Amino acid sequence: MRIKRRSQSIRDKRANPIDTTHLPSEPHAELSTELSVNEKALREAFQGCSDIVFRPFHTNPKLLLIYTDGLVDTKTLEQVVLKPLLYDGHSAGSASNGIPISGEIIQEQLIAVSQIQTVSTINNVIDGILKANIGLLIDGEHRAIVAELKGFERRAVEEPEAEVSVRGPRDGFTETLRINTSLIRRRIRSPKLKMESITLGRVSRTDIAIVYIEGIVSRTVLDEVRKRIGRIQMDGVLESGFIEEFIEDAPWSPFPQIQNTERPDVVCASLLEGKVAIMIDNTPFVLIAPMTFWTGLQAVEDYYERSIYTTFVRFVRYSLFNIALMLPSLYVALSTFHQQLIPTNLLISIANSREGVPFPTFVEALLMEFMFEGLREAGLRMPRAVGSAVSIVGALVIGQSAVQAGIVSAPVVIVVAMTGIASFAIPRYNFGTAYRLLRFPMLILAGMFGLYGIVSGVFLMIIHLNGMRSFGVPYMSPMVSPVPHTIKDIFLRAPRWMMTMRPAFNAGSNAKRIPEGQRPSPKREEEEGQ
């Protein structure tokens, strides 16, 4: 009974989620014509915010400048606002002519800022100030001027660290939404490129842009993205992962259903395929929806290198991703259940190295896989200076000493090492994690049922993958109903002049990408010349 009561009280708390403490008592209050009233209200709202600067000017009429220190470019502020206001404006306006400066005059003449607007509620003023604008309140006016003077510290555009390529653009997204959108706009100079702006997060008030190309985007996907983002109720959005978890289709699946990327070229390519990008302020990771299984196995460079080489690399990658999933479990299954299937000489070598090893193969493999994951995690989170110690200890302890001491056998170490290499060959990091995760259930199945377990595991995985959708697009598409032209980009990477159509499931009405018959050949050139 007590438990029940407690859960009841929790439910009561949940029922009233709106936390209004950060807003002024009358959020939509109109600005008063009295400056002192407005000032009082704003000071009340910004009480305890030491970074908000109130700068009153005792001119005629009185002015009040409010801005957030650190977000506003103070040098520009001095030059384009304070100087004209205090010297030119004052002398020109009131002293010489005796005409008091009004809001319009300030807006039109004094503030040499490109983005400027007048607002009439206290809430809008607060909003503007927090978004790196300056607020200028004028005595006797019931409106305030909000002008953009952004000047906060921002990281420069650098090479993305998570997605590296040999060939291709080197710029990556930064933490600033505006810089990120500019990187997109520089690549697609079309008014069809739309960026819908949304503010999300009750407390954080984070800017989010839904980016798509009108005429190419699939309307159903776009509507679905809008709907799902509109449903989110959150206090703070700090990373795109916050949003991803709210809008993905199958939250319990190990497979990611929304792609994320740091690279503007990836975003642009996806937009041109009819996908939707979701850009979030304060993170360099942009979400792309819908995602399919195969995009998880495609790297950026696939589209920059020549197609023959890329096709080869894709085959290597597909083999490696099967190794990453199944090699340890295959080893366990073969060496404990189906010794007949191992070539004789190999079996003798395995038997030789397993001599005197105290653990069953399954436990051995599980142990080593676990240690490998531990090593990877430790190496990832360690400070750089300590990182080398981890790798030395890992290589010595796991690689050599364990084998020499006869605690694990050498083949298991080799298998784990090969699996490790293979799992890092999956180009999308979060897609690779799915496989690293699934390796363990596969290992357990193999340890209990041998090949039968592996096959059932693979079947379950295939069933799961085929049942999944990302924003209405089947996860395995286009392989769910392969049409010749769509699989040109799955197992192969056809030359660009052959891929004339956009992926069928993403594209709306505008499925044609490029006109046909562009295959380069010297003969055609001659014909054109004649």
Partner 1 sequence: MSKNATACLCLMISIFFISGCWDSSEVNDIAIELAWGIDDAPNQKIRISAQAIVPSKISGGQSDVSSQASKGKPYFVLASDGMNTLDAVQRMQTKLSREMFRGHRRVIVIGESMARRGVKEIFDTYSRDPNLKLRTDIFIVKGDTAQNFLKVSYPLENIPGIGVLGEYDQIGTASREMGLLNFLLAASSDSACPALPVVAIGMDPDVPDEQQGQAQSQADREGFRIVGTAIFNKELKMVGYIDMEKARAMRWVSGNLRKMTVSETLPQGKGNVSMDVIKTKSKINSAYQGGRLKILVTLTGQGAIRENNTNLDLTKTNNISYLEKALNRHAEEVALKTITDVQKEYGTDVFGFSDAIRRKDLALWKSMEDDWKEEFQRSEVTVKANMTVRRIGVTGPSLQLNPNEIKK
Q: How far is the CB of 413 from partner 1 (least distance, A)?
A: 10
Shortest distance in whole angstroms from residue 203 CB to partner 1: 34
For residues 429-468, one letter each, b for 16 or more C-beta atoms within 10 angstroms of the residue's C-beta and e for the rest, the string is: ebbbebbbebbeebbbbbbeebbebbeebbeebeeebeeb
Question: Residue 172 or residue 411: which is nearer to partner 1 going by CB?
Answer: 411
Of 188 and 363, nearer to partner 1 (C-beta) is 363
Pick 316 or 348: Cβ nearer partner 1? 348
Contact 101, 94 (CB under 8 A): yes
Cα separation, 112 vs 464, whole angstroms: 59
The CB-side HSE value for 437 (13 A sphere, CA atoms) comes to: 12
Query: Element (H or E) spanning 420, and its range?
Result: helix 410-424
* Nearest distance, CB of residue 440 and partner 1, angstroms: 14
* H, E, C per residue of 24-57: CCCCCCECCCCHHHHHHHHHHHCCCCCCEEEEEE
- DSSP string of 149-203, one letter each residue: -B----PPP---SSS--SSS------S-HHHHHHHHHHH---TTEEEEEEEE-TT
Nearer to partner 1, 121 or 253 (CB): 253
| 356 φψ region: left (φ > 0), alpha (ψ -120 to 50), beta (else) | left
| Interacting residue ranges for partner 1, rule: CB under 8 A | 335-337, 339-340, 344, 347-357, 360-362, 403-404, 406, 410, 447-450
Q: How many CB atoms lie within 10 A of CB 98?
A: 8
Whether residue 357 contacts residue 404, with contact meaning beta carbons closer than 8 Å, is answered with no
Provide the minimum distance between the beta carbon of 319 and partner 1 in the complex, in angstroms, as a whole number.
Answer: 26
Tell the smallest beta-carbon distance from residue 395 to partner 1 (Å): 16
Q: Which contiguous run of DSSP H or E holds residue 259?
A: strand 259-261
Closest contact distance (angstroms) between CB of 177 and partner 1 is: 42
Cα R_g (the chain), whole angstroms:
31
- Residue closer to partner 1 by CB (options 230, 356) is 356
* CB nearer to partner 1: pick between 328 and 447: 447
Q: Which is nearer to partner 1, 160 or 453 (CB)?
A: 453
| Nearer of residues 70 and 360 to partner 1, judged by Cβ | 360
Q: How far is the CB of 2 from partner 1 (least distance, A)?
A: 20
Q: C-beta of 410: minimal distance to partner 1 in Å?
A: 5
Q: Indicate the residue among 59 and 409 with the shorter CB distance to partner 1.
A: 409
Q: Which two three-digit tokens encode residue 290? A: 């819908």
Dihedral pair phi/psi, residue 278, rounded to 5°: -120, 115
| Residues 50, 158: Cα–Cα separation, whole Å | 33
Least Å from the CB of residue 325 to partner 1 = 20
